[in-house]
């Protein structure tokens, strides 16, 4: 679905799901978290539902990291799109060594 923001007489701004997905993926990178597979975004009117599959670097706290992800995605995606992030579902798919997540230096 696509969100249409009405700016009065100035026109409309349309934000497709794919753009919100990319913004959310970039926001994860900003806080040092990589999406393991995919971030999904569903727009319903002026609200956004996000879900993210994450690989978390060991020994980071899973609880603290998922809380940080929810808070940051809500704030950042909302600020960038003007939409209200209603919910952020997080699925931790695996724990990885910090070098595995960021790539190995050879």
Question: In 3D, which of 50, 49, 51, 63 has the Cα closest to residue 95?
Answer: 63
What residue ranges define each of the domains in the chain, with the CATH number in brackets? 2-102 (3.30.70.1350)
pTM above threshold 0.95: no
Predicted confidence at residue 49, as pLDDT, reads: 98
Do residues 68 and 31 lie in contact, with contact meaning Cβ atoms separated by under 8 Å? Answer: yes
Give the model confidence (pLDDT) of 10-55 as tens digits: 787 788 999 999 999 999 999 988 777 689 999 999 999 999 999 9
Give the model confidence (pLDDT) of 52-90 as tens digits: 999 998 899 999 999 999 999 999 999 999 999 999 999
Predicted confidence at residue 78, as pLDDT, reads: 97
């Amino acid at each position: 679905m696509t969100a249409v923001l009405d700016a009065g007489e100035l026109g409309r701004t349309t934000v497709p799901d794919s753009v919100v997905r990319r913004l959310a993926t970039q926001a994860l990178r900003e806080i040092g978290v990589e999406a393991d597979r995919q971030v999904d975004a569903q727009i319903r009117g002026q609200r956004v539902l996000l879900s993210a599959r994450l690989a978390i670097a060991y020994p980071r706290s899973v609880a603290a990291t998922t809380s940080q992800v929810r808070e940051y995605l809500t704030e950042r995606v909302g600020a960038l799109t003007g939409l209200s992030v209603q919910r952020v579902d997080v699925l931790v798919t695996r724990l990885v060594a910090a070098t595995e997540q960021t790539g190995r230096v050879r």
